[in-house]
Amino acid sequence: MYWVDVVAPNGERIRQSAGTEIKSQAREFHDKLKSELWRLSKLGERPRRSWNDAVVRWLKEQSHKATIETDKIHLRWLDAHLSGVMLCSINRRMIDRITEAKLAEGVSNATVNRILEVLRAILRKCVNEWEWLDKAPQVRMLREPTRRIRYLTRDEAKRLISELPPHLADMAAFSLATGLRRANVTGLQWSQVDLDRKIAWIHPDQAKARKAISVPLNVEAVALIQKQLGGHPERIFSYRGRPILQVSTKAWYRALERAGIEDFRWHDLRHTWASWHVQAGTPLFALQEMGGWESSEMVRRYAHLAADHLAPYADRLESLMINN
């Protein structure tokens, strides 16, 4: 692998890999780098960067994100539209074409927006932090309908679990007992549970909010963990001796169909757990800590499910109507 050694006009020495074992290509890279440094110093020009350059830097700087794997999926899709494109060439018209291309796949506005959010975040980095662009085009988000919180009744939950294969049934039941996100259930290790104290914990690097979560285990959660003893040496939930990585499988969707449950995702098990808690009287501040939500606004989505404290006020109107 060839390396280049360049002294910039300001005296700064830059030594880095040329990324190639071909001498002619390394020489070309050297000359291009030297030219860009000169133009930047003498003419105040920014070096021309491509979308690929921005993606590489983004992935390197954002590797700590809990959702980085989702970002990679979106970036792989964007690659077909932006690979090799210079950042300065990305404009509103191009972004609109990307939006139309994704919509043509029959996906929802929300799915399109998740891709556009990654695109927008990278372009903003190019302007505000990396100084690769003077200005970024506006990324117009699509309107998303306000989604109703989807949760199961107790009977629906029993039907679903009875239709799932044993390994998925245990994981679904554990999700309903703890409210843990999918990745935290599939990634849960024996070193993260203390059955004597009836507690589990999620490390900061495993949590979406990057804060440790203490998970109290009720009787059902403890029983489900004990059921997995003798399985995988590290992961709690496994299938035929191997860790389970994917839960939204054909078996999951077929079980939903047999149970007569529509419009339900695996993540809605977490909504179900939270909804059951609120309906049982769990205070929102306690639910926030148990669920590992960073913002109280996220928890207030469930507030309407607990209206017991408003009952006395409703009764006032009733008594007024009776007296008249």
Strands 238-239 vs 199-202: parallel, antiparallel or unpaired: unpaired
Catalytic residue (one of 208, 232, 235, 301): 208
Phi, psi (deg, nearest 5) at residue 304: -65, -15
8-state DSSP, 147:
P
Structure tokens at 3: 């390396």
Q: Cite the DSSP H helix spans in the chain.
A: 23-42, 51-61, 68-82, 92-103, 109-128, 154-163, 166-178, 182-186, 219-227, 250-259, 268-279, 284-291, 296-299, 311-323
- The reply to whether 270 belongs to the active site is yes
C-alpha closest to that of 213 among 245, 244, 185: 185
Catalytic residue (one of 181, 271, 273, 276): 181
- The reply to whether 154 belongs to the active site is no
8-state DSSP, 201:
E
Phi, psi (deg, nearest 5) at residue 253: -70, -35
8-state DSSP, 50:
B
Q: From CA 251, how far away is CA 288, in angstroms rounded? A: 32
Catalytic residue (one of 270, 273, 276, 277): 270
Phi, psi (deg, nearest 5) at residue 74: -65, -40
Structure tokens at 136: 């970024």
- The reply to whether 235 belongs to the active site is no
C-alpha closest to that of 152 among 308, 322, 272, 300: 272
Q: From CA 257, how far away is CA 251, in angstroms rounded? A: 10
- The reply to whether 267 belongs to the active site is yes
* Helix (H), strand (E) at residue 4: strand 3-7
Catalytic residue (one of 23, 92, 267, 300): 267
Among all residues, which ones are annotated catalytic?
A: 181, 208, 267, 270, 293, 302
